[in-house]
Amino acid sequence: MSKSYDARPVLRELSLRIEDGEFVVILGPSGCGKSTLLQIVSGLSAPDSGQVLIDDVDVTDRDGRTRNVAMVFQNYALYPHLSAQRNIEFPLRAAKVARSERSRRAREIADPYGLLQHLDKKPAELSGGQQQRVALARATVREPAAFLMDEPLSNLDAALRASTRHYLRTLHTRLRATILYVTHDQVEAMSLATRVVLLRDGQVQQDCAPALLYDEPATTFAARFVGMLPMNLVQASLISTPSGIEAHARGVQLPLTLPAGDDLGARDVTVGFRPEALQLERPDCPKSGVHGTVTAVENLGHEQVAYVDIAGTPIAARLSRAVSLAAGDTARFTVRASDLHLFSTTTGRRLRWQTPSSAVAPTPALPSPVSIKEPA
């Protein structure tokens, strides 16, 4: 489907299929189109082109109230004059469910959310986390075909976000619910989703399980967006040597040798490695791996992050607290070949390559670059 506002494309020919029982998280930065996608699925907005199908029924032109989906928003939208129980019961009351049945279902659904002792309280008497759980319980009590959640945890502090993530996982497991969840927070995406769809500028960058998104990012954007710290990226050139094809970058000796016939479809590449993949060497070790000058060190309590300048390129390394480093120190790191990621410098897309068996590449003289063509 596609959608534009004031001639500005927001969704660009996006296709997405969600199976029953999946917890799919739409992840991306502000303005990528994720909330627009949710609004189209809910019926709050219409696509310029394309269709919305629920249970294989075309609902594109149907009113949102007939789609049997429940929305949970960033602001809880509770009725301030009603108790928590009556807020939870409200969709059932609108559906003319009998009072005794409304009460039974509201109490049943409040239990796993830890709300039983708060059912008589008004929203103003509840904490932010409790209000969000009331909103979730109100959506749950309808037993909809799917839940649509638009950044529901954004207004909570870190501790409440963690506890509410637990309730969401309980909801998904207990009800085997189908959930479409929008967030810019990659911690929420990685901890909640059975599948993550990463959006950028209205287009899908990657659609896969959370672990695969982290382990094999499809683009440099995915590599930098996902992770507690962005993936380090350095520019390198593929060089032809007697032993094969090697990647060389300023300030970095990469442990990467490819067979001579391994055509990656690029001559200039971007090499990525996670901050946790770097292992600190002793200062008197040979100048191999990654070496540069420490510009800053952040103490995070359980670990520290060293920021290092390597020939003008800033990188980060996650290290144990036991490591002693300070700004101005010279630091040398090694990185295993299996922890390297290759991307096309031209397109930013991941390049497929066979991990070499040797962990460290020799340091050869630099002959002429190998002639490798970009794919058509």
**117 and 164 share a domain?**
yes
* pLDDT score recorded for residue 365: 31
Closest CA to 365 of 236, 248, 233: 248
In a domain, 339, yes or no: yes
Poorest-confidence range of 64-68, 142-146, 250-254? 250-254
Rounded to 10°, the helix 128-140/158-175 angle is 20
* pLDDT score recorded for residue 12: 93
Q: What is the mean pLDDT of residues 77-83?
A: 92
Q: Which residue has the higher pLDDT, 160 or 131?
A: 131
In a domain, 372, yes or no: no
CA distance 221 to 321: 30
* pLDDT score recorded for residue 33: 94
CA distance 133 to 157: 14
**7 and 143 share a domain?**
yes
In a domain, 358, yes or no: no
Q: In percent, how much of the chain has pLDDT > 70?
A: 87
CA distance 236 to 249: 4
Looking at 171, 192, 219, which one is the last position of a domain? 219
Does 289 score more than 80 pLDDT? no
In a domain, 359, yes or no: no
* pLDDT score recorded for residue 163: 82
Contact 87/138 with Cβ under 8 angstroms? yes
Does 364 score more than 50 pLDDT? no
Grade residue 288 by pLDDT with cuts at 50, 70 and 90. low
CA distance 173 to 112: 11
Q: What is the mean pLDDT of residues 85-105?
A: 93
* pLDDT score recorded for residue 376: 37
> Model's pTM, two decimal places?
0.84
- Please write the tens of the pLDDT for every residue from 22-63: 999 999 999 999 999 999 999 999 999 999 999 889 999 998
**161 and 269 share a domain?**
no
In a domain, 235, yes or no: yes
**215 and 303 share a domain?**
no
**211 and 252 share a domain?**
no
**251 and 172 share a domain?**
no
**84 and 229 share a domain?**
no
Find the helix or strand (DSSP H, E) in which 215 lies: helix 210-215
In a domain, 309, yes or no: yes
Q: CB burial class (10 A; 0-12, 13-18, 19+) of residue 121?
A: middle
Q: Which residue has the higher pLDDT, 245 or 23?
A: 23
Looking at 219, 244, 269, which one is the last position of a domain? 219
Grade residue 21 by pLDDT with cuts at 50, 70 and 90. very high
Does 359 score more than 70 pLDDT? no
Q: Which residue has the higher pLDDT, 282 or 183?
A: 183
What letter does residue 250 receive in the DSSP assignment?
T
**250 and 294 share a domain?**
yes
* pLDDT score recorded for residue 363: 31
Does 316 score more than 80 pLDDT? yes
* pLDDT score recorded for residue 369: 30
Average pLDDT, the chain: 85
Domain that holds residue 36: 3-219
* pLDDT score recorded for residue 153: 86
- Please write the tens of the pLDDT for every residue from 157-173: 888 888 888 888 887 88
Q: Which residue has the higher pLDDT, 266 or 4?
A: 4
* pLDDT score recorded for residue 284: 56
**122 and 271 share a domain?**
no
Count up the domains in the chain and report the number. Answer: 2
**What does each C-alpha distance from 202 to 14, 71, 205, 287 come to in angstroms?**
7, 21, 9, 44
Q: Which residue has the higher pLDDT, 215 or 359?
A: 215
Poorest-confidence range of 82-91, 132-141, 201-210, 276-285? 276-285
Looking at 219, 243, 263, which one is the last position of a domain? 219
In a domain, 356, yes or no: no
Residue 337: CATH number of its domain? 2.40.50.140
The amino acid sitting at 66 is T
Q: Which residue has the higher pLDDT, 244 or 44?
A: 44
In a domain, 363, yes or no: no
CA distance 232 to 223: 9
Contact 83/120 with Cβ under 8 angstroms? yes
**23 and 62 share a domain?**
yes
Contact 333/280 with Cβ under 8 angstroms? yes
Closest CA to 290 of 258, 270, 315, 267: 315
**138 and 206 share a domain?**
yes
Percentage helix, strand, coil, to 5, in the chain?
Answer: 25, 30, 45
CA distance 367 to 365: 6
* pLDDT score recorded for residue 246: 74
**255 and 288 share a domain?**
yes
Residue 37: CATH number of its domain? 3.40.50.300
Does 265 score more than 80 pLDDT? no
Rounded to 10°, the helix 99-110/84-94 angle is 130
* pLDDT score recorded for residue 261: 52
What letter does residue 358 receive in the DSSP assignment?
-
* pLDDT score recorded for residue 196: 97
